[in-house]
Amino acid sequence: MSEKLQKVLARAGHGSRREMEAWIAAGRVSVDGEISGLGDRVEADAKIRIDGRAVSLKSADDIICRVLAYHKPEGEICSRKDPEGRTTVFERLPKVRDARWVAVGRLDINTSGLLLFTCDGELANRLMHPSNEVEREYAVRTFGEVPEAAVQRLRTGVTLEDGPAKFDTIKAAGGEGINQWWHVTLREGRNREVRRLWESQEVQVSRLIRVRYGKVELPKTLPRGGWIELPIDQVNYLRQLAGLEAETRSILGTDKHSVARSKVKSAKIRRAVHKHKVVGNHGKPTRQRS
């Protein structure tokens, strides 16, 4: 049975469906020797190339849906390559055969916290669609006094340059001196929306951390720059949100040997993160505060 080309490529992990549509429109994809167009459908035995390179395709039954939770540090960008040479969020992720990791949404360079990756482009595409409205929670540190009237306006709604916006919830979470912490939630994923909401009230945000995506929380023990593979129940929670069938397989085991290997892998991740913490020209590691 034939399927849309962009769906086949996304499912195989070459990118989100939106990315694949852009590649097809740019003439980068060929099918059986002919440049493809948007809306083309392909059979299972089609010979597909991207930029002249043959791509490996798998059927839906051959693909195990994997999801990573990554603790993004400040200073990393959500792009695969950066012309300015800045560190990207993809550099520390594990290698995946015949596929690639797709980020579920983005965090700006000055925002840290939970960022999800999946090798299932269809899952990423559906989760990122505006109609999905997955709740995100952020910890926000503000600088200076925040009037109660400003907090009420952020609850009821303000007008930004791209339309009305508000926080679904906003709660004070303590602080010291002129620094105050808040926890806010919203269901949209507009560019820099959390920061722009506070800026609309002339409040300066000095730190912003995403701590939850839907029911998936940023693990408290996960170091900045570290990742962890989500277990199948959390993968299927995300698939349910996206309207996809449940995954029945996982590369994670539940036996004692698998748990032991998981602990070893965690130690390796922590050492890899530690190696990245260098400053100046001396190559000496520096500690990062949580």
- Side-chain half-sphere CA neighbours of 260 within 13 A: 3
Pair of tokens at residue 80: 């695969």
Length of the chain: 290
> Coil, strand, or helix at residue 283?
coil
Choose, from 82, 108, 162, 233, the residue flagged as catalytic: 108
- Residue 49 and residue 23 in contact, taking contact as beta carbons nearer than 8 Å: no
- Measured distance CA(246)–CA(218) in Å, rounded: 23
Residue 156, SS3? helix
Cα distances (Å, whole numbers) of residue 264 to 29, 44, 273, 275: 41, 39, 14, 17
DSSP structure class, residue 223: P
Query: How many angstroms separate the CA atoms of 184 and 176, rounded?
Result: 19
E strand residue ranges, the chain: 3-4, 29-31, 34-35, 41-42, 48-50, 53-54, 67-72, 102-103, 112-118, 136-143, 158-160, 163-165, 169-176, 179-186, 204-213, 216-217, 227-229, 278-279, 284-285
Our answer to whether residue 108 is catalytic in this structure is yes
Half-sphere exposure in the Cβ direction for 259 (13 Å, CA): 3
**Sign, Cα dihedral of 251, 252, 256, 260:** positive
Active site residues: 108
